[in-house]
């Protein structure tokens, strides 16, 4: 068992669990998790997912700030919903990013799964950005992605990471329920 992967898994579980609770400490733990996975995915030749960790690192810095000061009058963010126009724009962004990444990885690298790696990376970028903005539907996208990631990581011999994404699936379901409850309580008040 790779101690680096084990450490990354532990930080990943803590980070996502804290996110389901809307706890600000989810962001610094995410910084450690993403730094470790950048190295792990590079070793596994999942280059898009490795690069994704670098972007996650930046998004985690932004999310930390946004959750603390991104609301009205520099207050904390509250859970909201994705509007139709934004949802369509984000879906189009996933398609375009997948095409660009997939083409690049399939032509210029020895990537193990260039198109699947590109699609999951693109959708994950969108899901993570949605989380930084406390958009409820981020959890629904994570539910789908986690299922795909389990198979992808297992196929690359990252069994511990595949198991982590099973845990992430459960946490995403919990996050959706808890954030929806928070949104409903706020709207009812």
pLDDT tens string 123-181: 999 999 999 999 999 999 999 999 999 999 999 888 888 998 999 999 999 999 999 99
Tally of structural domains, the chain:
1
Q: 165 in a domain, yes or no?
A: yes
Contact 28, 63 (CB under 8 A): no
User: Which sign does the torsion angle of CA 181, 188, 23, 52 carry?
Assistant: positive
Q: What is the pTM of this model?
A: 0.91
Structural domain including 63 reads: 3-68+84-188
Q: How many helices (H) and strands (E) does the chain have?
A: 7, 0
Q: 21 in a domain, yes or no?
A: yes
Tens-digit pLDDT profile for residues 63-98: 999 999 988 889 999 999 999 999 999 999 999 999
Q: 22 in a domain, yes or no?
A: yes
Residue 47 predicted with pLDDT over 90: no
CA distance linking residue 177 with residue 187, whole number of Å = 15
Q: 147 in a domain, yes or no?
A: yes
Q: 125 in a domain, yes or no?
A: yes
Q: 76 in a domain, yes or no?
A: no
Q: 42 in a domain, yes or no?
A: yes
Q: 177 in a domain, yes or no?
A: yes
Residue 44 predicted with pLDDT over 90: no
């Amino acid at each position: 068992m790779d101690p680096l992967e084990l450490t990354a898994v532990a930080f990943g579980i803590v980070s996502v669990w804290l996110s389901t609770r809307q706890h600000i400490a989810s962001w610094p733990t995410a910084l450690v998790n993403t730094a470790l996975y950048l190295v792990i995915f590079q070793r596994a030749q999942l280059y898009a997912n490795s690069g994704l960790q670098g972007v996650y690192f930046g998004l985690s810095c932004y999310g930390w700030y946004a959750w603390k000061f991104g609301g009205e009058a520099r207050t904390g963010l509250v859970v909201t919903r994705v509007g139709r126009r934004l949802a369509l724009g984000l879906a189009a962004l996933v398609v375009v990013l997948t095409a660009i990444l997939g083409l690049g990885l399939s032509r210029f690298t020895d990537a193990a799964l260039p198109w699947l790696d590109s699609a999951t990376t693109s959708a994950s970028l969108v899901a993570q950005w949605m989380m930084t903005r406390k958009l409820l539907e981020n959890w629904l996208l994570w539910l789908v992605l986690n299922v795909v990631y389990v198979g992808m990581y297992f196929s690359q011999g990252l069994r511990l990471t595949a198991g982590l994404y099973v845990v992430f699936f459960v946490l995403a379901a919990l996050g959706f329920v808890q954030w929806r409850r928070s949104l409903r309580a706020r709207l009812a008040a």
